[in-house]
Amino acid sequence: MKITDRVYYVGVVDWKANHFHGFDIQGTSYNSYLILDDKKVIIDAVKKEYYPTFIENIAKIINPKKIDYIIVNHAEMDHSSSLEYLVKDTGAKVVLNKVTKEYLDKMYDTTDWHFMVVDSNETLDIGERTLKFIRTPMLHWTDNMVTYSSDGILYSNDAFGQHLATSERFADQIDGGGRSFYEAKDYFASIILPYRMFVGSVLEELSQYDINYICPAHGTVWRGDLIDDIIYKYALWSSDVPKNKAVILYGTMYESTEKIAYALADGLVNAGVTVRILNTESPVNKIMNELMDARYVLIGSPTMNANIYPPVRNILSWLEDLKPIDKVGVAFGSYGWVECATGHIYETFKKLNYKIVDDECLKIQFIPSVEELRECREFGRKLGSTNNKN
């Protein structure tokens, strides 16, 4: 499929992918782009199991032997594992930065590969176009870079990507971009979030370029007004500025903790707070998508074996890894003979430096009574009302 007159999409859509780095997804794509100029260039590659389709896509447009350069923006295997075959079949020179080369040398037998090592702001003249390489370390590996083409195309690798399987190649072709934005937020929350402090400097660097298309390594291509929109979203998502929103996340064994969760939700809604309720069966990336821009994080767990409920413990470990910050944290739960779960939740809140709001009314023995649920609703109302006054 053409992106522009002499730029083609030659990647592969993975319709059956349902997991990526431990996150639940509904398909993805491994995007690669072919530039036809005086020199013929491939931008990024695909997972090795899709190499036959990948090389067939290229061959429909050009004899692979005529490719001069393969640009590797990032060494991770979802982009690089087919390089061994691609280099052998094309004989092309591999263009990359020194960190990416270091990684590829450790991952593959690169003895017979021909390399061109570039650094930030170095360029490659391929005819009518000039390609400029811009290092973007920690978005999301130390080796990441993007490639900017003088015809206004930014090949952004993982930045601005989405795990999205679709026959459409442009974001505006699906729900006016709505689906792509949702999946981009999902991707940001599960992949980019721990490194969001580096996003601002990258966006500042990119602001000096005229960008007509953003071509990421996963998902759909951004064009038109959606370019400014996705750049704005990245700035917003990396800013840690919360909405007046609460995420209530809970695990439950006999529905007692669930009843507390819904009572808290009633109170928060009455105080004008937007509420999202999720349980431990929800995919982690969907949880992080909602939690990323929330002001309040309320986590509930029953006590099990004088400890926290294991599915809740798993969510806490993801919180510690992905590090959403600047939240108000509340722990709640039900218990039998001894209450132990909320202490574990608060330990995670302390590690993330959350403002902690604690109340004994949220630790309920066995089945919550009507009066105890009323107290939970009142706690939620006060929590939302107090913050709104601030």
Domain segments of the chain: what residues? Answer: 2-237, 246-389
- Report the CATH architecture of 246-389: 3-Layer(aba) Sandwich (3.40)
pLDDT of residue 332: 98
Helix (H, G, I), strand (E, B) or coil at 77: helix
pLDDT of residue 387: 62
Amino acid at 197: M
What does R_g of the chain's alpha carbons equal in angstroms? 24
- Residue 128: name the closest of 153, 151, 112 by CA: 151
Task: List, for the chain, all residue ranges whose pLDDT scores fall below the cut of 70.
Answer: 387-390
pLDDT of residue 22: 80
* Number of neighbouring beta carbons within 10 Å of residue 319: 24
Instruction: Give per-residue pLDDT as tens, 112-159.
Output: 999 999 999 999 999 999 999 999 999 899 999 999 999 999 999 999
How distant is the alpha carbon of residue 340 from its chain centre?
A: 33
**Environment class of residue 204 by beta-carbon count within 10 Å: exposed (0-12), middle (13-18) or buried (19+)?**
exposed
CATH class of segment(s) 2-237: alpha beta
Amino acid at 177: G
pTM of the model: 0.92
Catalytic residues: 21, 74, 76, 78, 140, 158, 187, 218
Host H or E run for residue 51: helix 51-59
pLDDT of residue 390: 44
Distance CA 315, CA 83 (A): 36
pLDDT of residue 114: 98
Encoding tokens for residue 149?
């083409």
CB within 8 A of 110, min separation 6: which ones? 101, 104
